[in-house]
Amino acid sequence: MAGCRSWVFFLTVCAASLFGANAEIKVTIPVGKLFTYELLRETFQNDFEPLSKLYAGRLYDDPMIFKCNRQNFPDLPEWLRFTQRHPYDNGFLYGTPVSPGKSIIEIYAINKRTYEAARQILVIKITAEEMLPYQAEFFIELREIEKVLPSSVQDEIKQDLQKLWDTEALEIVNITNALDRGGRVPLPLAGHFEGVYVKVGSEQYFSDCLLSATTPEHERQCKTGAKVKVPGGCNFCSIPSNCITWCKTELFDLTQLTPPPPPPTMGSGILAEGGEFDPPESPPSRDFLPDYIVTVIVPLIIAIILCILLAYIMFGRREGVEKRNARTNQIQLYHHHTIHGNTDELRNMAGNRSTPPPLSTLPMFNSRTGDRAPPLQSDSPSIPLIMAQHDPYSDTLPRK
Ligand SMILES: *[C@@H]1O[C@H](CO)[C@@H](O)[C@H](O)[C@H]1NC(C)=O
C-alpha cells in the first residue's frame, strides 16, 4: 500500500542501574498519531524485589500507584495523559502530540505494600509529520479507556474500522475517555461503561458507509431518538463491546478546512525611539483655603461665641445666683435647728423614765411563768452548756 506508513518505535533500554531502578527508555513517535505506553507492574515489581527472592520463586503481586510528570515540571505535557484504574492494574500514558519536540517524562512507581519507590525515565522524541487528511471519530459506548488502550484491543478496533473505511491504511489518531468530553460517570453496575471516543485517520477518502452516516436523513433519524438503522452492509463489528454508536460518528475532512486566520502581529515590546520620555503633566494645584475656612474657621468662631455667651450667663449675672444661694442657706439653717430641737426633746423624755425597764429586756426571763433565772456565771465550768429543757406545755395541757 502506498499510504502505508512505517513509523517505528525505538524502544531502547539505555541505562539500567544494578537493580534496574533507574531505567531510561527512549521512544520516537510522529506528530498526530496516538501514543500509548503501558506502565507494567511486573517490570516495577522486579525493581522492588531483591534478586534472591525472584529466584526463590516468591514473587509478590504488590499494589502499585504511579506518579508521572515532565522532568523538572509538576505536571505532564499538555498532550499526554495518564490513567490507572486500580493499584492492581497497569497504568497507561497516552495522548497525541501536536508539535514536534522532545519530552522527558519521569515515572515514579510506589509500592503500596512496602512503600518503596522506583523511578523510570521515558524520553519521548516527537518527529514532524503531515496530519492525515481524512479523519473520523467514533464513539464506543461499551468500553472504558483502560480496556481500549492495550495494543491488542486497539488492533481489534482498528480492524473493524478498516473494513468500514474499506482501506488498510488507517491509523488511530486519538483515544479519549468520554468523561473528558463531558460524559457522565456511569452507575456502578454491570453493563454501564464510561464510553470512549476513537479517532482514526487515513490518506484515503471516506467510504460510502461512512458517508451514509452523515446524510441528512440519517441525522434526522438520530434526532428522533428512534432505533437507527445501520446502513446496509456496513455493520462490521465483530466483538459486541467494540461496536460503534452510529449517531455519534463524525467525519473531518482536513483538506476542506479554511486556514486559520493569521495571528495578530505582535510588537517587539520595546517603545519606539521617540526622543526623551515626557512624563504627563501633574494635575493643576488646588486652592484649599475656602475649604479650610468652611470646615475649621467658621465652626471655631461659632464655638468661641457660644463659649462667651455661656460664660456671661454663668458668671456675669452674679446677682441672681447670690439671691438663690441665700435662700438655700436659710432653708438649711432651719433644718439644722429643728433636728437639734428634736434630739433634745428625745433626750429629755429618756431622762424622765422612772419606771423599771420592761422585764422582757432582762436576761433569762421566762415570758410565760415570769420566773427570773439567776444570772448565769458563764465562767463556771460546772454549768452544762445546754441546760435541761423544761417542758413548757406539761402543766398547762388539760388532763383527762
Ligand atoms: C485528542 O483528544 C483530546 C481530548 O478530546 C483533545 O484535547 C486533543 O486535542 C486531541 N488531539 C488531537 C491531536 O486531536
Q: Is 135 in the pocket of ligand 1 (CB under 6 A)?
A: no
pLDDT band at 352 (very low <50, low <70, confident <90, very high): confident
Distance 175 CA to ligand 1 centre (A): 8
Q: Please give the pLDDT value at position 324.
A: 67
Q: Which of 79, 145, 172, 200 to mutate to test the pocket of ligand 1 (most atoms within 8 A of CB)?
A: 79
Distance 98 CA to ligand 1 centre (A): 9
Distance 34 CA to ligand 1 centre (A): 10
Q: Is 176 exposed, middle or buried (0-12, 13-18, 19+ CB in 10 A)?
A: buried
Examine the pLDDT at 360 and tell me if it is beyond 70: no
pLDDT tens digits, 362-374: 666 566 666 666 5
Q: Is 202 in the pocket of ligand 1 (CB under 6 A)?
A: no
All three cell numbers of 23: 531505567
For range 299-303, the mean pLDDT:
97
Taking the C-alpha atoms of residue 180 and residue 82, their distance in angstroms, rounded to an integer, is 12
Please identify which residue in the block is written with the cell numbers 438520530. 222
- Please state the atom number of ligand 1 nearest to the C-alpha of residue 174: 1
Q: Please give the pLDDT value at position 400.
A: 42
More confident residue, 206 or 352: 206
Q: Is 176 in the pocket of ligand 1 (CB under 6 A)?
A: yes
C-alpha dihedral sign at 163, 168, 173, 175: positive
For range 108-133, the mean pLDDT:
92
More confident residue, 389 or 175: 175
Distance 163 CA to ligand 1 centre (A): 24
Q: What is the mean pLDDT of the chain?
A: 81
Q: Please give the pLDDT value at position 50.
A: 67
Q: Please give the pLDDT value at position 381.
A: 53
Q: Is 242 in the pocket of ligand 1 (CB under 6 A)?
A: no
Q: Is 111 in the pocket of ligand 1 (CB under 6 A)?
A: no
Distance 142 CA to ligand 1 centre (A): 21
Strands 196-202 and 171-177, how do they pair?
A: antiparallel
pLDDT tens digits, 214-259: 888 888 888 887 667 676 678 888 888 898 988 889 999 988 877 7
pLDDT band at 266 (very low <50, low <70, confident <90, very high): confident
What contacts 24+ positions apart, CB below 8 Å, involve 50-58?
51/19
Nearest CA to ligand 1 atom 7: 79
Taking the C-alpha atoms of residue 251 and residue 211, their distance in angstroms, rounded to an integer, is 8
Distance 191 CA to ligand 1 centre (A): 27
pLDDT tens digits, 3-45: 333 333 333 333 333 444 467 899 999 999 999 999 998 888 8
Q: Is 84 in the pocket of ligand 1 (CB under 6 A)?
A: no
Nearest CA to ligand 1 atom 14: 174
- Please state the atom number of ligand 1 nearest to the C-alpha of residue 98: 13
Nearest CA to ligand 1 atom 5: 176
Q: What is the largest CA-CA distance in the chain?
A: 152
Taking the C-alpha atoms of residue 106 and residue 24, their distance in angstroms, rounded to an integer, is 9
pLDDT tens digits, 132-168: 999 999 999 999 999 999 999 999 999 999 999 999 9
Examine the pLDDT at 386 and tell me if it is beyond 80: no
Taking the C-alpha atoms of residue 113 and residue 74, their distance in angstroms, rounded to an integer, is 25
Count CB-CB contacts under 10 A for residue 341: 10
Are 157 and 171 a contacting pair, CB within 8 Å? Answer: no
Q: Please give the pLDDT value at position 28.
A: 95
Distance 153 CA to ligand 1 centre (A): 20
Q: Is 371 in the pocket of ligand 1 (CB under 6 A)?
A: no
